[in-house]
């Protein structure tokens, strides 16, 4: 079949009469940094919600690595390899930093409730292995020293990092970042973009990210899709898209 990691075919959803997303066709290659941009209410997050099983598409399909995941539950989709972060941070805020990552890792270990309660040897092995992996991941994000901190006490930028670490812990093939730079100052944003590049290069990850701000996305993305009112406005390499008169009109209006 196709050699794209993620391919969506005419992905559409409507709520009553409102067509929130119409015929969205994304083709994302492995190891690509792909941007999804558009003005407010363009349907970007709706596309994410369809790709992660929060919404079921009204029509159209999407494939991850050639496998049709349309209509699967959020849990199933995560297990097949799509992980996401949220626009408004959704950490497990009362749990420690390391436990947040533990939760992300938990599907990759098999240790029944019975074995956990009665402390079978498999429990200790699982816990040890999970702890090592979690700390290794936290180390990558410079969070290891704060692993015992309650997640909600982390500074904002670190919470974003932790959310990405937690998503990576589920061992995805594709990472979806929903406005990772929201609420950050230019300095933090620049650093974040550096982090995303780092993740792509060092984890060999494919990243699809939503951003509001075209100038930010222009810096790191390989390709872009622009949505406006739920429809695809433009698609292609960054420079092409950003010079597209249609796109400029959508953002700035006529004249």
Partner 1 sequence: MVIKMANSKTSEKKNNHLKYYFNYLLVGVFFLIFFILDMTMGLRTSTTQLLTKIAYSIILATSLNMIVGFLGELSLGHAGFMCVGAYIGCFCANFLHTVIPSPLIVLIIAMMIGGLVAALFGFLIGLPTLRLKGDYLAIATLAFGEIVRTIFKNLSAFGGAQGLPTKRYDKSLYIIAFLIVFITLFVIQNLKRSKHGRAIEAIRDNEIAARAMGINITYYKLIVFIIAAGFAGIAGVIYGHLVTPVANTFFSFNYSIEILVMVVLGGMGSITGSIIASTLLTFINVQLTTQLSGDMAALKYLIYALILIAMVLWNNAPALSNVREKVSLHHLLAWFNGKFSSKKPEKDSQTAVENAVYLKEEADWKKIPTKIPMDSILSTDIKPDRTTEADKPEKSSKQ
The residues that touch partner 1, with contacts defined as CB under 8 A, are 52, 54, 74-75, 78-79, 83-84, 86, 90-95, 99-100, 102-111, 113, 116-123, 125-130, 132-133, 135-137, 139-140, 142, 145-146, 148, 166-171, 191, 194-195, 198, 202-205
* CB of residue 251 to partner 1, shortest distance in Å: 30
Residue with Cβ nearer partner 1 (125 or 249): 125
Which backbone phi and psi does 72 adopt, to 5 degrees? -75, 160
* CB of residue 29 to partner 1, shortest distance in Å: 18
Q: How far apart are CA 104 and CA 190, in angstroms?
A: 27
Residue with Cβ nearer partner 1 (53 or 60): 53
Residue with Cβ nearer partner 1 (54 or 231): 54
- Which residue do the tokens 């979690």 mark? 134
* CB of residue 87 to partner 1, shortest distance in Å: 12
* CB of residue 188 to partner 1, shortest distance in Å: 11
Q: How far apart are CA 95 and CA 77, in angstroms?
A: 24
* CB of residue 209 to partner 1, shortest distance in Å: 16
Q: How far apart are CA 132 and CA 144, in angstroms?
A: 11
- Name residue 177's beta-bridge partners: 209
Kindly give the pairing relationship between strand 6-15 and strand 59-64: antiparallel
Confirm if 122 and 115 have CB atoms less than 8 A apart: yes
Q: How far apart are CA 244 and CA 40, in angstroms?
A: 19
The CA-based dihedral angle spanning residues 190, 192, 194, 200, taken in that order and rounded to the nearest 10 degrees = -150
Residue with Cβ nearer partner 1 (146 or 223): 146
User: For 42-66, b where at least 16 C-beta lie within 10 A, e where not — what string?
Assistant: bbbbbbbbbbbbebebeebebbbbe
Residue with Cβ nearer partner 1 (199 or 224): 199
* CB of residue 253 to partner 1, shortest distance in Å: 35
Going from the C-alpha of 20 to that of each of 11, 15, 16, 217, 255, the distances in angstroms are 11, 7, 10, 23, 27
Residue with Cβ nearer partner 1 (4 or 48): 48
Residue with Cβ nearer partner 1 (27 or 54): 54
Confirm if 5 and 27 have CB atoms less than 8 A apart: no
* CB of residue 184 to partner 1, shortest distance in Å: 14
């Amino acid at each position: 079949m196709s050699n794209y990691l993620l391919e969506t075919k005419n992905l559409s959803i409507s709520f009553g009469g409102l067509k929130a997303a119409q015929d969205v066709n994304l083709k994302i290659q492995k190891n690509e940094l792909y941007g999804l941009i558009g003005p407010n209410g363009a349907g970007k997050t709706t596309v994410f919600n369809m790709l992660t099983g929060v919404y079921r598409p009204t029509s159209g399909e999407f494939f991850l690595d050639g496998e049709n995941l349309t209509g699967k539950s959020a849990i199933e989709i995560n297990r097949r390899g799509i992980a996401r972060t949220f626009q408004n941070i959704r950490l497990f805020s009362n749990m420690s930093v390391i436990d947040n990552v533990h939760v992300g890792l938990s599907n990759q270990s098999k240790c029944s409730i019975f074995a956990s309660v009665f402390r079978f040897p498999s429990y200790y092995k699982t816990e040890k292995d999970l702890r090592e992996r979690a700390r290794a991941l936290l180390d990558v994000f410079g969070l290891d020293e704060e692993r015992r901190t309650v997640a909600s006490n982390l500074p904002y930028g670190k919470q974003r990092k932790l959310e990405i670490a937690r998503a990576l812990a589920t061992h995805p093939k594709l990472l979806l970042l929903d406005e990772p730079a929201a609420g950050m100052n230019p300095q933090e944003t620049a650093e974040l973009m550096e982090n995303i590049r780092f993740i792509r290069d060092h984890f060999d990850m494919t990243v699809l990210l939503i951003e509001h701000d075209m100038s930010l996305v222009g810096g790191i993305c390989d390709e872009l899709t622009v949505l406006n009112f739920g429809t695809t406005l433009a698609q292609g390499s960054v420079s092409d898209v950003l010079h597209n008169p249609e796109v400029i009109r959508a953002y700035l209006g006529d004249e």
